[in-house]
Structure 1
Amino acid sequence: MQHFRRGSILFCIVVVVSSIVRGDNTAPPQESSETVVSMAFGWPFLDPASMETRGGTTQGSKVTLDEAPSEAWQELQQPTLAKRERDRQAILAMAGSYRVSFQFIESMGFAEDYSPSRPYFSWATEHVRVLEETPTFVSLQHTLVMYFADEEMGGPMVTKHWRQDWTYEDRDLHVYRGNSIWERLQLDEEEAAGAWSQAVFQVDDSPRYEAFGRWEHEDGFSRWTSNDAWRPLPRREFSVRNDYNVLGGTHAITITPTGWVHLQENCKLQVGDESEPPRCLACELGINRYERIAEPKVQEPADAYWAKTGDYWKEVRSAWEEVFRKRDRFQLKKAANGKKLYEEHFGYAAEIEESGEYDTQSGQTHAQETIENFLVTP
């Protein structure tokens, strides 16, 4: 097991009898209503009240975990798989229906008069679908499907979430450079040999970050570890932090018999113009757990959403592919014509979903023109 201890995160959780700490989208399931999730690996000499976990307020419906090893996990264990195919099966094993927990805690600080930010916890249910797969490419689309304990809130609430594209021996990446700028990075043959890139996209299919790394498979473990890569300020920090604007760090994704785990070791950076060196304010540890569920049923509502809007979102992806082909470097505006990019795309998709009608040419034009309106050459 030594191979999988390099760069690992010592991160554990303790359940303490108290009141609920709620997540951005849902709190823990109802059967845990008498517990609080807190960080055992934290700041032992600070006032516990100052380290109370922050998050949202809504209560999620009851969840039933699927505790049987998945078919994808069993396929991954087949001894006859070639290395590239075993890598691909590990990526495909991330598809499915999940309860997801997101936890982050700052581990150290470097700013003058540093005081650690409150730990973060949120919880949700979602479905991960395979949009496309070939022997050297896999695209996975996440869709939030939220059921609530409060029946007055209705449900399920279905929302397009983030996307991850995996490419084998990818030598043409677009990486984040700070200040809403993405730039082409070309790897040499040796750097790309045997590696898979992971390109992560925002809810509106605009780029977020791209990293590359290699899968390791040993003793039932399958884990991918990335290079050090930059990302924009995460959504969980938009409304509470303005002292840093880039999250840099490494990722490790490990496949388990009943899901997968995403570990992060991050540095919170303040990045100015290119003449100034970045300044690290604090380091952060993160763990996102994807636990396969049997209930509630989240695939069917997700499938229904994609049946109505999928053709439009395909045009959005195609428009971005054209941007990546043509532009070595680009910057995204925060708003255009008084709207944010996600508002333009989600508003159009909502009209399609409500009407049940979609015109291919109009959708293509809207996707291309909308994205073009937000692009700037820095």
Structure 2
Amino acid sequence: MSTRVALITAYNDKGELLLGRRNDNDKWTVPGGHLDEGEAPADGARRELKEETGLDPDTISPVTTFVTKTGLNIFVFSAFVTGTPHGRDDPDGECEEWKFYPTDSLPKKLHGPKGDENVLEQLFARNDILTKAEPQQSEHAELDEHGQRFKTGHPVTVNFVRNTQSSPKAPPGDPYQQRIEPHGRYMTHRPDVVSPLPKGWEGGSVQFKNPLVIPFNPSNEGRYDSTSWKARLANTHGVTGRALSQRLASLGHDGIVTIGSHKGRPETSEIVDLTSFHKLVVKAESVLGKAVLDPSLGYKFDVRHNNLGASGSYTTVKVRPPKPLYAGHEVASAEFYHHPDGESLVPNSVWVSDDHQGQGIASAMYSQAEDHTQKTIIPSTNQTPAGQSLWAGNAAAPQFGA
């Protein structure tokens, strides 16, 4: 089973990076530590930052994830903090001294876990890490609207209305960036949902425990261009559509709230409910006791391998239904990181649409990944205990066809 670790690059209002001097080896490190079992990465990042430095982040957001050569599954977050850091309340007592450094003059002696001693050096060498100091403060937005506080990481209840009809195919030029937008339930915030609603519309409420709250477009208000919220998220995470939703969910976010303006007044704009993705990431589907996928059903599997260089490799499996409703229609997907031992795969996320569950598709994707890579699945905390037992070899693994 892979070990999950959160690392936090925390910045002050000068754009300086927070580092702590370890008591055991006099080397410098960023706040972070092991995630508890079942703990969302974003929640663990906040907890570790508070425990080790005494600081609560004003804002915190995911930057990247990667697997080290020893198999640590690293979740990197960027945070903006205020106040004076200290290590007085750290239960592990690892660092007594915390200090902010300009990013162009970091100390040379950096700490890394055994077997991954150079992990911080490799991380800081990436252009997308230390450039987060300034944009980090402007990327997030805050708003009090209709009695609700919208802020990244702040639980909030959204009273919504939404159009339940299928979105039309993106017109030429994709003016609304539908081809790159994250998947999920799109909605708008309304203080009072008036009934009856027009045909094809529904109202209700949804609670986000850890929303990502960002400007709609900080450069060109209301426009879908290279600085819109959809483009920024796609560029930051390197994926689009359903994969982008899965990536955000795997980093702890269960919703996206964008803040725009109307007649000069700030207001919530597009809101995306990611709770279904978040639930599936936290607890992937087990197929024990369920039907084995029948090859005659006609599901099509697309298996692809991606090399991230020094950060490792990962394999994705996507499933198309027998009768797709549109080009690129997918009903399931899974992502696996390649373990540094060269023989194993670490599940990162698994998703199967509601109307295609119970047929063994989740485990079929696992089998496809094993068959194509000739590597063995390592049981993951993303799985149920029964699923972990199945893929640990402690239960009979059914055979699946493609």
Instruction: Give the structure-2-normalised TM-score.
Output: 0.24
Structure with max Cα Rg: 2
